[in-house]
Amino acid sequence: MLLRNIELEKAACMLVNWYDQFRKNTIKAQIVPVPDDVLEYLRQDLVILPKECSVLSSSDTSKTKHFNTYNDEFSDDDEDEEELPAFPEFSKKLSDSIEKLGGSAFLKSDWHSPKDAQWITLGQSLKVKDITDAYQLLKASSFCKEDFGERSSPANGGGFHVVLKKWCDIHPGSEFRCFVKGRSLVAISPRHWPSYHEHIATERNDIVSDIVSLFKEKIKEAFPLKDYVFDVYRPAKDHVVIMDFNVYGKGHSDSLAFDYDQLDADAVTATIEEEDVPEFRYLPEDCGIQPNPRNNYGFPQDVLEMFQGASGAAGQPAEGDGLIHRLMDEWNLQTNGDDDDE
């Protein structure tokens, strides 16, 4: 059995290493290399936003209004301003990139989006409209922090990056995860498994044939790995967009409607006629409310405890409580709204 080189596989899945090749079939992106001082700042646990964010919030009233969570509510005075970190060049590159992408972007580190940190932005969305949104998400996300980790990894030989993609309003029922084993497309799952979407059953043949066409025409011979997972978005018939490439296997990418043991076993017995004839699994009918996976990344307990610990005497709310309650109310409103939709 061939030993896998996971670092090599991770390198192949970094957007910076596949973007140029698949530029025509993916969402427009901007890649910003992370210099060492920013890297050091991103690795620290303390969430203090750089100076450029305060400049932005005091000068630009047209962008997102931020509570300026960490700088305004808890710092004593303007005196702290002097001690704020500053990364003028990097911040400028971030804001230029957002601008080039039309003013709103989706952000990622080399492998992960900050989906565990959605709670921190006021709109509780991963939509990034300015550098404050970007820094807040990057600093609050454990997934991104891990990507910026200190362990030297050959996959990051070319350095670390922040990736900004043009923001698209994506219908969750039109996203799919595709599993490739031995360069053959073997399985397709709805990306937001197990939620039910009526159109998937009615369009199942078109969905499969559109994804198989994209795979055979653009990906199969071009992507360097034999086993991998790729995510796609199919906004309309005959139109499939590559969203991401991920490392194949348990502990690397969620297998959603499938099981890696089964996929591996099936691949061993597959015949040549079965090449690129993927199994498509989806929920054929609505079996009631399915858990919203985003709720797994709710308000972090340690943040709640920190704020509760800051409460005033005899249950009187302390100053910070107003902020946390406002954020939590918004969070609850949003997540309840999401559940109603599904």
**Residues binding ligand ATP (CB under 6 A):** 27, 106, 108, 112-113, 115, 165-168, 170, 175, 191, 231, 243-244, 246, 253-254
The b/e string for 302-331 (b: 16+ C-beta within 10 A; e otherwise) is eeeeebeeeeeeeeeeeebeebbeebeeeb
Interface contacts to Mg ion, rule CB under 5 A:
244, 246
Residue 165 contact among Mg ion, ligand ATP, none, beta carbon within 5 to 8 Å by kind = ligand ATP
Min CB(250)–ligand ATP separation in Å: 14
Nearer to ligand ATP, 91 or 189 (CB): 189
Q: Which residue reads 């609050």 in tokens?
A: 140
Residue 52 contact among Mg ion, ligand ATP, none, beta carbon within 5 to 8 Å by kind = none
Q: How many CA atoms lie within 13 A of 117 on its CB side?
A: 25
Nearer to Mg ion, 133 or 244 (CB): 244
Is the CB of residue 53 less than 8 Å from the CB of residue 131? yes
Min CB(253)–Mg ion separation in Å: 7
Min CB(298)–ligand ATP separation in Å: 17
Is the CB of residue 29 less than 8 Å from the CB of residue 126? no
Sequence-distant (6+) residues with CB within 8 A of 223 are: 12, 18, 180, 230, 245
Q: Tell me the two tokens of residue 198.
A: 């009526």
Give the separation between CA 158 and CA 319, rounded to whole angstroms: 45
Residue 258 contact among ligand ATP, Mg ion, none, beta carbon within 5 to 8 Å by kind = none
Min CB(174)–ligand ATP separation in Å: 9
Min CB(15)–ligand ATP separation in Å: 9
- Beta strands 175-181 and 184-190 are antiparallel
Nearer to ligand ATP, 52 or 227 (CB): 227
Nearer to ligand ATP, 175 or 227 (CB): 175
Min CB(6)–Mg ion separation in Å: 15
Burial of 36 (0-12, 13-18, 19+ CB in 10 A): exposed
Identity of the amino acid at 209: S
Identity of the amino acid at 287: C
